[in-house]
Amino acid sequence: MSAVVAEHDDHHDDHAHGPAKGLLRWVTTTNHKDIGTLYLLFGLAMFFVGGGMAMIIRAELFEPGLQFVQPQFFNSMATMHALVMIFGAVMPAFVGLANWMIPMMIGAPDMALPRMNNMSFWMLVAGVLLLASTLFMEGGGPAGGWTMYPPLILQTGKALPFAVFAVHLLGISSIMGAINIIATIFNMRASGMTLMKMPMFVWTWLITGFLLIAIMPVLAGAVTMLLTDKFFGTSFFDAAGGGDPVLYQHIFWFFGHPEVYVMILPTFGVASTIIPVFARKPLFGYSSMVYATASIAFLSFIVWAHHMFTVGMPVAGELYFMYATMLIAIPTGVKVFNWTATMWKGSMTFETPMLFSIAFVVLFTMGGFTGLMMAVAPSDFQYHDTYFIVAHFHYTLVPASVFILMAAGYYWLPKWTGHMYNEKIGQLHFWLSAISVNILFFPQHFLGLAGMPRRIPDYAVQFADWNMISSIGGFIFGASQLLFLYIVIDTIKGGTGEKVTDEVWEDAHKHGLEWTLPSPPPYHTFTTPPAVIPTEHI
C-alpha cells in the first residue's frame, strides 16, 4: 500500500516513560496498546465462556430427549451464548484489534480520546458482569432468545431489568469505542496518509464505527420500551393499548442487521490485510474494496425486515426487502472476487494466518450463499426459525469472524509480543478447527431443511443422526480451541524462542506501517509522525 521511511526514535525526551508498575496499570491505563490487550484478552475469555454454553447446548442435543438440563435453562443458554459471543467476544476482540493496530497503521501516537478509551473498556466489563449476574437470579437468565422479542421476553423473571441495563451499558461502551475510532482515523493520521491510502482494516473500522453509532442507540431505545412495557404500564408492544409486538421486531432488526455487519466488516478488513502479505501481491482492487464496504454498510440499513418475512407484512414490503437484500450479494461478491484475484498467481505460502484467511474466504462464501437462499421470501417461509438459519449465521460468524480473529492473532502476535508462535501447533489448530467446524455446522443445513426448529432442547427422532454428528463436531471444535489458548500463552511467554524481526513476515513492511516498528513495539509509538511515502503499488 505504501512504503515508509520510518524514523522511529521513539524513546526520546519527555515521552520515554513506560507503563506504570503493578496491577493498577491495567485499571487506569490510557495507552492504546494496553487497552487493546485488555479488550483482546477479555474477548478471548468470553469466547470460552460463550463456548462453554455452546457445549452445554450441543451436549443436550446429542440425543433426543432431555438428558442434562431443564428446557428453561437450555433456552437461557441459547440466549446467553448469543449475547456473550456477540457483545462479549467478537465485538470486543475487534475493538481490541482496532485499538492495537489503528494508531500504528496510520502513524498516530495513540487513540484520539485516551481517557474515554479506558472508560469504554470498563463499561463493557460492567455490562457483561451485569448480564452474567442474571444467570443466578430467581427465574434464571433471559431465555427468550438474544432478539428479546415481546411478549415472550416480558415473562422473564428478575433478570429482565438487569438484562436491559446490561444492553444499555454495552451500548454506551460500543458508542464510546466507535466515536474514539472515528475521531482517531479522521484526526490522527500522519501527513501523507490520505484516506485512500489507509490500510483496508482502518477503512472497514471507520465504516463499522458509523454503523455502531447509528445502531446502538436504536437497540437502547427498543429495550427501554421493553422495560417501560413491563414496569411502567406503557403499551408499545401491546395491541390492546394500540401498540404492536411486530414494532419491536422492526426496531430490533433495524439495529440487528447492521449489527451483524459490525461483526463482519472488520473481518473483511483483516482478511484484506493478511491475504496480500502471504500472496506477496498488493491487494487487488483496493478502491473497489472501499466502495464495496461502504455499499454493504449503506444497504445494511434498508434490509432489516428480511428477518421477519413470516411475521406478517404487506406483500409490497416482502418484495422490497427481498430485492434489497439480494443486492448485498453484489458488493460482497466484489470482495470475494478481489480476495481470490489477490491470490491469483501470487507466490503464496501457507502459514497459519493465511490458512485461516483462505478458509474464511471459502466458508464465508458458503454462508453468503445460504443467505441468498433465505433472502428469497417464499423460500424463507420454509427455512424460517429452523436449523437452516442457525447453520447460515454460524457459517458467517464462526468460520468467518472467529476464524479471522484467530488469523489476526497468529498474524500480529509476533508483532505484539516479539516472539514467534509455534507454527506446527498453529497448523494443527487450523486443520482441527476447519474440519470440525464443518462437521459441526454443515449437518445443521440438512436438519433445517428437514424442518427441525431452532431453540428447542428436544426433537423428533428423525433428526437424531445429524444432531449427533453435529455435536461430535462441536466437541472437537471446542476442544481444538484450547490449542489456541495454549499458543497465546506460550507465545507471550517466549514462544519458539526465535527472535522475530521488525517485519516478521517476508516483505510485510510494504503492507503497513506497523511492520516498520520494532517487535514488540515500544509503549509509545509515533510520538513524532512518520513520513509516509506512496509507492506505485496501488
Partner 1 sequence: MSTTDAYYIPHKATWPVIGTVGLVTMLAGFANYLNGSSIGPTLMVAGLVIFIIMLTGWFTLQATESESGMYSTQVGISYRMGMMWFIFSEIMFFGVFFGTLYYTRYLSVPWLGGEGTGAATKELLWPTFEATWPTNGPKGLGLDASGARVFGAELEPMGAWGLPFLNTLILLTSGVSVTWAHHGLLAKNRDQLIKGLIATVALGFLFVSFQAYEYHEAYTEMGLTLGSGIYGSTFFMLTGFHGLHVCIGAIILSVVLFRSWKGHFKPENHFAFEAAAWYWHFVDVVWLGLFIFVYLM
- Contacts of partner 1 in 80-109 (CB under 8 A): 109
Our answer to whether residue 454 is catalytic in this structure is yes
Whole-angstrom Cα distance, residue 398 to residue 377?
A: 25
Whole-angstrom Cα distance, residue 507 to residue 503?
A: 7
For position 161 contacting partner 1 by CB under 8 A, the verdict is yes
CB 461 within 8 A of CB 64: yes
* Residue 451 φ then ψ, to 5°: 105, 15
Shortest gap between Cβ of 101 and partner 1 (angstroms)?
Answer: 18
For position 456 contacting partner 1 by CB under 8 A, the verdict is no
Residue of 15, 280, 454, 455 marked catalytic: 454
Q: 82, 56, 81, 83: which is closest to 70 by C-alpha?
A: 56
Q: 136, 55, 134, 40: which is closest to 88 by C-alpha?
A: 40
Among 91, 198, 251, 343, binds partner 1 (CB under 8 A): 251
Whole-angstrom Cα distance, residue 131 to residue 141?
A: 8
- Per-residue binder mask for partner 1 (CB under 8 A), 183-222, x = binder: xx-xxx------------------------xxxxxx-xxx
For position 131 contacting partner 1 by CB under 8 A, the verdict is no
Residue of 257, 281, 429, 510 marked catalytic: 257
For position 180 contacting partner 1 by CB under 8 A, the verdict is yes
Residue of 8, 306, 429, 524 marked catalytic: 306
Residue type at position 180: N
Place of cell 527472535: 499
Shortest gap between Cβ of 154 and partner 1 (angstroms)?
Answer: 13
* Beta-carbon contacts of residue 417 (< 8 Å; ≥ 6 apart): 491, 492, 495, 519, 520
Stretch that binds partner 1, among 124-132, 143-151, 337-345, 457-465 (CB under 8 A): 124-132
Whole-angstrom Cα distance, residue 28 to residue 119?
A: 9
Whole-angstrom Cα distance, residue 56 to residue 457?
A: 11
Among 250, 280, 455, 537, binds partner 1 (CB under 8 A): 250
Shortest gap between Cβ of 374 and partner 1 (angstroms)?
Answer: 23
Among 69, 152, 247, 348, binds partner 1 (CB under 8 A): 247
Shortest gap between Cβ of 435 and partner 1 (angstroms)?
Answer: 42
Among 21, 23, 242, 378, binds partner 1 (CB under 8 A): 242
Place of cell 524462542: 497
Place of cell 491505563: 29
Whole-angstrom Cα distance, residue 289 to residue 69?
A: 46
Category of 139 on φ-ψ map: left (φ > 0), alpha (ψ -120 to 50) or beta: left
Continuous segment of H or E residues that includes residue 32 = helix 32-60
For position 233 contacting partner 1 by CB under 8 A, the verdict is yes
Q: 296, 267, 258, 104: which is closest to 201 by C-alpha?
A: 267
Other CB atoms within a 10 A radius of the CB of residue 451 amount to 15
Residue type at position 94: F
CB 293 within 8 A of CB 266: no
Our answer to whether residue 110 is catalytic in this structure is yes
Among 112, 193, 271, 363, binds partner 1 (CB under 8 A): 112
Stretch that binds partner 1, among 181-189, 272-280, 489-497, 500-508 (CB under 8 A): 181-189
Stretch that binds partner 1, among 2-10, 40-48, 163-171, 197-205 (CB under 8 A): 163-171
For position 30 contacting partner 1 by CB under 8 A, the verdict is yes
Stretch that binds partner 1, among 67-75, 164-172, 337-345, 436-444 (CB under 8 A): 164-172
For position 524 contacting partner 1 by CB under 8 A, the verdict is yes
Whole-angstrom Cα distance, residue 205 to residue 270?
A: 10
Alpha carbon distance, N-terminus to C-terminus of the chain: 6
Among 3, 126, 376, 432, binds partner 1 (CB under 8 A): 126
* Beta-carbon contacts of residue 44 (< 8 Å; ≥ 6 apart): 89, 93, 485, 488
Shortest gap between Cβ of 118 and partner 1 (angstroms)?
Answer: 4
Our answer to whether residue 11 is catalytic in this structure is no
Our answer to whether residue 307 is catalytic in this structure is yes
Residue type at position 76: S
How big is the site for partner 1, counted in residues (CB under 8 A)? 71
- Cβ distance to partner 1 smaller for residue 3 or 119: 119
For position 168 contacting partner 1 by CB under 8 A, the verdict is yes
For position 527 contacting partner 1 by CB under 8 A, the verdict is yes
Our answer to whether residue 507 is catalytic in this structure is no
Among 119, 329, 372, 492, binds partner 1 (CB under 8 A): 119
The residues carrying an active-site annotation are 81, 110, 146, 173-174, 257, 259, 261, 272, 306-307, 332, 335, 454
